[in-house]
Each structure stands twice: as structure tokens, then as C-alpha cells.
Structure 1
Amino acid sequence: MPEHVSFLQLLGASVLALAAVLWVIGLARVLRAFRAEQPSRHRSEALSALPHQRQPAPDLEAVELTPAERDAFAGLVRQLNGGR
């Protein structure tokens, strides 16, 4: 036992280390049990924690632009691209 460390300090460090080991063992058991309860899933699911959509997305809509609107849009794109 080191001379500059009291018995209570060594006892406290030992108790804390033992508590940490027991906590890790308990956490591992809980996670293992949780994984065993769930049905097997594909590992490729990126966001499995998010709930699934209850209804499908709305159909895509398309609107035909008039020639004047197409020209205005092209001018806006040129303006935002710096004239390119």
C-alpha cells in the first residue's frame, strides 16, 4: 500500500471500481435481453428509431409554365449564377 494514501481512499477507489464493473455488466445484460426480444431487422435501415409513415406521400404535381414564365425563370437562374 502506498504510504501517502489512506486506507479509506483505497477502500473508496475499490468500491467505485467495483460499482462501475457491476454497472457495465448489468447494462450489457439489459441490452442483450432487449435485443433478444426484438425481431430481427435488416442492418441497412438507416433511421430505425423513427416511426414508419402511416400514409403514403402525396402524388407529385407538375405545372406547365408559359413561355414568359420560362424566360423569367431562366433570367433568375442566370442572375443567381452570376451571368453564367
Structure 2
Amino acid sequence: MFRDVSIVQQIGVAALAVATAVWAVGLVRVMRRERPGADVWRAPQALSVLPGQQGPPRVETVELTADERAAFAGLVRQYGDRRS
């Protein structure tokens, strides 16, 4: 082929060309499979995305003791005075 290029370099270029073609074909297949509205002929993957929330979040409450309520009220008063 080329007189100044060794056979090893020619094989390397050919291998890179084949790898590039395989990568491009794989990328096109993945992009087509993941687009919205694609045909659903394949089984869904187990963890392809995070599951959606099933309902409204649960309200989490903690019962405070009288001392904790008093301490919290003191903090609110302390920081409330700074804003005025």
C-alpha cells in the first residue's frame, strides 16, 4: 500500500477504523433504543432508571418534650430579634 509505512502501522490504522465503526454502530443502537416512543419489543432492564415516587411524601414528625419546645422557642425569639 504505502512504501514508507510499516505493516504494523497499517494494521493499527485498520484496527482503529474497525473499532470506530463498531463504536458508531453501537452508539446508534443505544440511542435508538433509549429514545421516547421507541418500539417496546424488548424486555425492560432491571435498573435502567431510578423508580418514580409512588405518592406524596410521608409527613415525618417528632414529638418534642417541653424543654425542647422551650429551647426552640428561645432560638426563634433570639434569631427573630436580629431580623428586626
Give the TM-score of the pair, scaled to structure 1. 0.45
